Amino acid sequence: MSGDPRELLVLGGTIRPHASHPTAEAMLIRDDRIVAVGTETDCRSWALGDVDVLDVDGGTVLAGFVDAHCHPLMFGQFNAWVDCSWEAAPAIDDVVAALTTRAAHGTGPVRGKGFHHGNVVEQRMLTRHDLDRVAQDREVLVFHSSGHGAIVNSWALSSMGVTADTVDPPGGHFGREADGTPDGTVWDAAADWLTGHHGVKITNNGPNFHLPDDPATLDAQLCAAQAELHAHGITTIVDAQVTGREFGAYLRTKQAGTLTMRAEMLVISSLLTELENLGICGRFGDDQLAIAGVKLYADGALTAGTARFSRPYCCSVDDFGYLYHPNGELAELISRVATLGLQAATHAQGDAAIQLVLDAHQSLGSRADARHRIEHFGAPTPGQVAQCRELGLWPITQPQYLLRYGDELAGVLGDRAQRLTPLGEIRDAGAPVVLSSDAPVCPPRPLEAVTAAVDRRTLTGERLGAGPQCLTLVEAWQAHTLHAAASVHREHAIGSLEAGKFADFVVLDQDPLHTDIESLVDVDVEATWVGGRQVYDRHASTKGLSA
């Protein structure tokens, strides 16, 4: 009968229900849920009748990864632009050449992504003068790898109405030449100028990377990002900055049946009044798509040099970074989020910004198991790590920063770089350890993130905080699965392979927990399943599936 449940028996390899638990030989799935994990005999005894069999051919089955902080639509949109990362364009002339090639194939805006000043040969920022070499009759825009700003050409500055007389907005600034003329760099809250007169505006509530596109294009970009997430074994994401642009894309793709991942949304705080007016009172949605909390910002970005510290950056005597909100405003916003029963998820990188967030939660008092979050928690002091644990806050980290940007950060932060993303201290304090990618700032590759958490190696091979700040492989794996799920109250449904949980799993070609850390990134994702349905197959077939 068409209404009969579909049952699938997974076997033929190693089943790892949980990173720290003994292995099993089989797993039975009924519709979208796991029914049993154990021996093949035990699992077959739970079956209602005939079962389909998935033979994983010696592979290892683990819970799907949860990326607890990323930006899927931004990632998908950026991937349609020119790749200006140091891997693709190691020098500024290479960036200009790549953009010029794109400009020759059309008359519209020319956009690039992934440029990082600390990783190009010249060791400097792009300017409008560089981009004027690409085109002077239309917009040329390159987003910085941090996602907290962009570089535009002179035409774009003129179109935006930005001049030497333009006042920097609270929580952002325009880079300037010696005489005050804008140099083409647009940072943090100033990025509101990038979205045009009718685009998304978020004022000093965060960096505005929400560039417009028509709905069909946005939906396609989200689905393209989703495909790459699945290819790396990711089954659930936390979208860490949702405006109406992202919300619409999620709703449309869900209705169309093309949304296959699970998405927990953190709505940007510029929409907090709208959430209050709607009467939201706690997590709102279903098991696939839900509003989990509100995203707030305390400071800028480490990789852009705008995170707020109590000591200046090493390259300056008076550059401490900056804050998004004036005194008291951030604490008020956090209090309003807590009143709604939602998670406050506050971006804080520098120690001065982290202290503002801790103080806000200290004055707020505690609500049982609220699990408010500090996004990034990049450079806390030891005392702040302890206070984070005492307040029950969840730090959401991105160890790939160490790999991809650690060399440059060591130069601008000095001795503080050894304690960036202090995973060992967080663990030892008894706070939960959670890993994520912050894609597109770093690629959504959990195996790379786990490696970085264990190894803490930079691109040049230096190990930042090696030893005391390193996680074990099992700890790092849990941080990207079960702990990441728990960071949005979803550990009862996802994050491990247990009876009653959703059948969200990944098949790897070898057991990662028996793999040398140097080789972990070479482990292949063979297949990814969400809710008992295959959403990725490395061989683009249903290999191993039989009646």
Question: What is the Cα–Cα distance from 17 to 351, expressed in whole angstroms?
Answer: 37
| CATH code, domain with 508 | 2.30.40.10
Considering the domain architecture, whether residues 132 and 99 belong to the same structural domain is answered as yes
User: Residue 544: what pLDDT?
Assistant: 40
Cα separation values, 22 from 14, 340, 412, 456, 472, Å: 10, 41, 44, 28, 17
User: Residue 545: what pLDDT?
Assistant: 43
Considering the domain architecture, whether residues 346 and 371 belong to the same structural domain is answered as yes
Task: List, for the chain, all residue ranges whose pLDDT scores fall below the cut of 70.
Answer: 1-3, 366, 541-547
| CATH code, domain with 360 | 3.20.20.140
| CATH code, domain with 91 | 3.10.310.70
3-state secondary structure 453-491: HHHCECCCCCECCCCCCCCCHHHHHHHCCHHHHHCCCCC
Considering the domain architecture, whether residues 374 and 507 belong to the same structural domain is answered as no
With 0-12 / 13-18 / 19 or more C-beta atoms within 10 angstroms meaning exposed / middle / buried, residue 368 is exposed
Give the chain's domain count. 3
Question: What is the Cα–Cα distance from 151 to 506, expressed in whole angstroms?
Answer: 39
Question: What is the Cα–Cα distance from 398 to 174, expressed in whole angstroms?
Answer: 27
Closest CA to 495 of 14, 175, 13, 16: 16
Number of Cβ within 10 Å of residue 380's Cβ equals 28
User: Residue 323: what pLDDT?
Assistant: 97
Q: Which domain holds residue 121?
A: 86-144+148-203
pLDDT tens readout for residues 521-543: 999 999 999 999 999 999 984 44
Question: What is the Cα–Cα distance from 479 to 493, expressed in whole angstroms?
Answer: 16
| DSSP conformation class of 342 | P
User: Residue 317: what pLDDT?
Assistant: 84
User: Residue 2: what pLDDT?
Assistant: 53
Considering the domain architecture, whether residues 196 and 305 belong to the same structural domain is answered as no
Question: What is the Cα–Cα distance from 232 to 187, expressed in whole angstroms?
Answer: 31
User: Residue 260: what pLDDT?
Assistant: 99
Considering the domain architecture, whether residues 396 and 531 belong to the same structural domain is answered as no
Question: What is the Cα–Cα distance from 264 to 336, expressed in whole angstroms?
Answer: 20
Q: Is residue 250 assigned to a domain? A: yes
Q: Do the beta carbons of residue 59 and residue 509 sit within 8 Å?
A: yes
Considering the domain architecture, whether residues 21 and 111 belong to the same structural domain is answered as no
